[in-house]
Amino acid sequence: MKLYISCDMEGVAGVCAWQQVDARNSHPEYEIYRRYYTQEVKAAVAGARAAGVTEFLVNDSHGPMRNLDLEAFDSDVRVIFGNRKTFSMVQDADAGFAGAFFVGYHGGAGDADAVLCHTYTPSVIYEVRLNGMRCSEATLNAALLGYYGVPLLMITGDRTTVEDVRSQMPWVHGAIVKESIGNFAANTMLPGSACELIRAAAAEAVQNVSRAQLFRVEPPVTLDVDLVSAAQAHLVATIPGFERVASRGVRFVHDDYAVVFKSFVATWRLGGQA
């Protein structure tokens, strides 16, 4: 049985400030929380392994996407490391997986009570909608999993993030490791307790894989992206297939969600150059 894990860092227990997850500027707190991040992913692997999973593909999906301590994992785990991936946080999720976990996930841009909430690139993306439905990273990514026939089984993070996903995908098991107090504070579990919770939730999620469903967006898919600035929208509208529909808004319509997802990735990569 093969399992896919997409992992991010803002949803890890204890994280409540950008400095804790800033790999690029060598903040001293980063090394501490990088260790906690690795421990939470390892706990998810351990729980799933105990429930019968024999192969894992872990996609490091935070920032530069090379944060995990690779020596912490056993030989049944492979890791996708590095950025500029075609499908970013869900790269290679099409390889016949029985299910997927989202570990350390956070809320979407604009969420009132989610620690460090944003959607992919906070300096570029203001809001994303699929067929009119407001989306977070978890929603966007789960839809690509569904497109490939892979059900989301578990998500870990703060309460707002977990409950938002479960409101749309009630079969998903959740491990709530902290309670957000606004966007920059949290009432959090300690790392060891968080790992115990994640390990138990992971095992239960795999044991109940037969009850999981696919999360899909029905075609034709209309992708609406509101950028942070009009200059970004102007630049993104030069991508073939995009239409500028407002000062900061662009739209892309296609029947194939994989094409839609790649086009969304292009918006924040190109928009970041404006």
For 112-132, what is each residue's pLDDT tens digit? 899 999 999 999 999 999 999
Task: Judge if 202 and 238 occupy the same domain.
Answer: no
**204 and 234 share one domain:** no
* Residue span of the structural domain in which 254 resides: 221-271
DSSP state of 265: H
201 shares its domain with 225: no
Are 155 and 253 found together in one domain? no
Coil, strand, or helix at residue 105?
A: strand
**pTM assigned to the model:** 0.97
Whether 172 and 244 share a structural domain = no
Residue 19 belongs to some domain of the structure: yes
Domain membership flag for residue 207: yes
The amino acid that residue 108 corresponds to is: G
Distance CA 223, CA 227 (A): 13
CATH number of the CATH domain containing 254: 3.30.1360.130
Whether the pLDDT of residue 98 is over 90: the answer is yes
Q: Write out pLDDT tens, residues 193-246.
A: 999 999 999 999 999 999 999 999 999 999 999 999 999 999 999 999 999 999
Environment class of 170 (CB within 10 Å of its CB; exposed 0-12, middle 13-18, buried 19+): exposed
126 domain residue, yes or no: no
The answer to whether the CB of 142 falls within 8 A of the CB of 99 is no
Measured CA distances, 119 to 22, 58, 108, 174, 236 (Å): 16, 20, 5, 20, 17
The answer to whether 62 and 80 are in contact (CB under 8 A) is: no
Straight-line distance from the first to the last Cα atom of the chain, in angstroms, rounded to the nearest whole number:
44
Percentage, residues of the chain above pLDDT 90: 97
pLDDT tens sequence across 68-92: 999 999 999 999 999 999 999 999 9
Note the pLDDT of residue 24.
85
